[in-house]
A = this chain, B = another copy of it.
Amino acid sequence: MFETAHKQVVESPTPSQSPASQTAQLNVAESRLDPLSGDWTIFATERSKRPDDFIDQVPGVKTDVECPFCQGNESTTPPAVWVGQIPETARILGSISDCDESPIDDWSVRVVPNKYPALNDICEAEMDSFRVSPSHRDSNLFRSQPICGGHEVIIESRRHVKSLTQLDMAEIDLVFQAYRDRLKHYRSMPGIAYTNVFKNVGRTAGASLTHAHSQLIATDRMPRIVESRVDRMRRHRAETGCCLSCDLLRAERKAKQRVVACDDTLIAYCPFASHLPMLVRLTTLEHQACFEDLGDRVLESVSRMVYRVITWLERLRPGTAYNYYINTRPPGIKDPTDSFHWSLDIFPRMTQVAGFEWSSGCMINPVFPETAAAMYRKCVSAENPRRFR
C-alpha cells in the first residue's frame, strides 16, 4: 500500500506567516526545572484555550449503597487499629451534636486495615522473614517479589460527610493525629522502607468511596523516584551545607509572588516548577525531616492550613476532585546529614495524564504557579478567620 500511495509534502510556512508561531511569540511556552525531582515541566497556557468536544460532568453517585465507613457499619470493615474520640467538652462546643444519639461505637476518627489492600498485610515477625528470604526471581529480566507492609484507611468522621471541610475542627485535628501516630507505628516496624499518607477525593482523583477518608501505605520497598528525590536533597546538603527545601522556602518568601499564606510556623505556596496545575505545597518554615515528629501545636496548625486550602479549592472549583499526600522522610533512608524536609502537596485534578506525559514523564501545566497563587490569595482575603480557629 505504501508504495502506491500518492503523497504531497507541503512546505512549512515561515514563522511570520504561521498562526501557531504568532501565538507562540505572544505566549512563549516555558519549561521550569524542579530541583527536588529533577524534572522539567512545560508551562503552556495556550493549552487551556483548546476547543473541547466533551461535556463536563460530575460523576454520579449511587444512593442505594450501604456505606462501610458510617457509624453502625463497623463490622463491615476489619477491626480498628486506631480510634480517636473527641472529648466531651469538644462535643458540647463543636458542631457534631447530631451524632449524640449513638453512644455505642463512640468514635470520631477510626483507622482500619484496608479490606482491599494494595499489598500484603504482614505482621512484624513475618516482615522480618520476608526481608531475609531471597527475592523470587524467574530470571534477571522477570524479577518479582511479594510486597509487604500495611495499607490502612483513616475514616475521618462517623457521619456520612464527603469533604474534610464538613468536619468539625476537632475531627480534623484527630485525623492529623491519626496520620502522625500511624506513621510512627510503621516507622518503628522492622523492614518498612517507605510510608505514605494520601487522600483521594472524587472519581477522577482515584476515590471509590465518597465518605471522607484518607489512606496510609507502608511498604518494604523504596520507590525509585523517592530515592532519587532523597539523593538530590542529600547532594544539595553536601554541596551547600543547607537543606534544599529550606533554601527553596527562603527563595519563595523572598520572591513573594508564589506564596499564598504564611504564619509563624507554616508556609503554603505554589512551587515555581509545579508539575500539576494549582498545586499548593505546605510545610514548616523551620527545618523538620518527618511529619510524624511534628509537635501538637504545629500539627494543629497543619490541620487548619489543610482545611483552609481545601476551602479555597472548593471555592475556586466547586465539586472538584483533588488529592493530597504527605512527603515524610522514608524510614528506610539513612540521613545522617539531616537533608530531608517534610511537605504536604494538595492539588485539584484539572488535567489528564495523556499519551505524551505517560511516555516522556514530562508534565504539561496550563497554569503558571504565579497565577495560581494570586487566585488562592484572593480566597485568603475573602475568608472568615473565625471559621478555622
B-binding residues in A (CB < 8 A): 1-15, 17-21, 23-25, 28-33, 35, 38-40, 42, 44, 46-47, 49-55, 57, 59-62, 65, 67-68, 78-87, 89-90, 113-123, 126, 138-147, 151, 169-170, 173-174, 177, 181, 194, 196, 198-200, 203-210, 215, 217, 221, 223-226, 247-248, 251, 255, 272-273, 276, 296, 299-300, 323-327, 345, 351-362, 364
Q: Measured between C-beta atoms, what is the minimum distance from A326 to chain B in Å?
A: 8
Quick check: B1 and A354 within 8 Å, CB to CB? Answer: no
Q: Which residues of chain B are within 8 angstroms of A147 by Cβ–Cβ distance? A: 29-31, 40, 42
Say yes or no: A299-B2 contact (C-beta < 8 A), given A115-B20, A199-B355, A226-B361: yes
Quick check: A224 and B118 within 8 Å, CB to CB? Answer: no
Q: Which residues of chain B are within 8 angstroms of A123 by Cβ–Cβ distance? A: 12, 14-15, 21
Within 8 Å by CB of A44, from B25, B118, B173, lies B118
A299 to B9: give the CA distance in the assembly, Å. 19
Quick check: B29 and A119 within 8 Å, CB to CB? Answer: yes
Quick check: A251 and B325 within 8 Å, CB to CB? Answer: no
Which residue on chain B has the smallest CB distance to residue A40?
B221
Say yes or no: A206-B355 contact (C-beta < 8 A), given A9-B82, A117-B23: yes
A296 to B326: give the CA distance in the assembly, Å. 51
Say yes or no: A145-B31 contact (C-beta < 8 A), given A87-B6, A123-B12: yes
Say yes or no: A354-B206 contact (C-beta < 8 A), given A141-B247, A361-B226: yes
Quick check: A90 and B206 within 8 Å, CB to CB? Answer: no
Within 8 Å by CB of A60, from B39, B55, B142, lies B55
Quick check: A2 and B300 within 8 Å, CB to CB? Answer: yes
Q: Which residues of chain B are within 8 angstroms of A362 by Cβ–Cβ distance? A: 221, 223
A101 to B142: give the CA distance in the assembly, Å. 55
Which residue on chain B has the smallest CB distance to residue A79?
B13
Quick check: B170 and A5 within 8 Å, CB to CB? Answer: yes
Quick check: A53 and B210 within 8 Å, CB to CB? Answer: yes
Known A35-B143, A52-B209, A200-B352; further 10 A-B contacts with Cβ < 8 A: A4-B87, A5-B85, A39-B224, A40-B223, A42-B118, A50-B208, A53-B207, A53-B208, A206-B353, A223-B362
Q: Which residues of chain B are within 8 angstroms of A117 by Cβ–Cβ distance? A: 20, 23-24, 29, 44, 46
Q: Which residues of chain B are within 8 angstroms of A40 by Cβ–Cβ distance? A: 147, 221, 223-224
Quick check: B44 and A54 within 8 Å, CB to CB? Answer: no
Which residue of A11, A31, A81, A174 has the most chain B CB atoms within 10 A of its CB atom? Answer: A31
Quick check: A120 and B177 within 8 Å, CB to CB? Answer: no
Q: Which residues of chain B are within 8 angstroms of A12 by Cβ–Cβ distance? A: 81, 113, 123
Quick check: A324 and B29 within 8 Å, CB to CB? Answer: no
20 A/B residue pairs, CB under 8 Å, sorted by A:
A2-B300, A3-B296, A20-B78, A21-B113, A25-B120, A30-B145, A39-B223, A42-B147, A51-B209, A53-B61, A54-B208, A55-B59, A55-B62, A57-B57, A118-B364, A142-B272, A196-B355, A198-B358, A200-B352, A223-B362
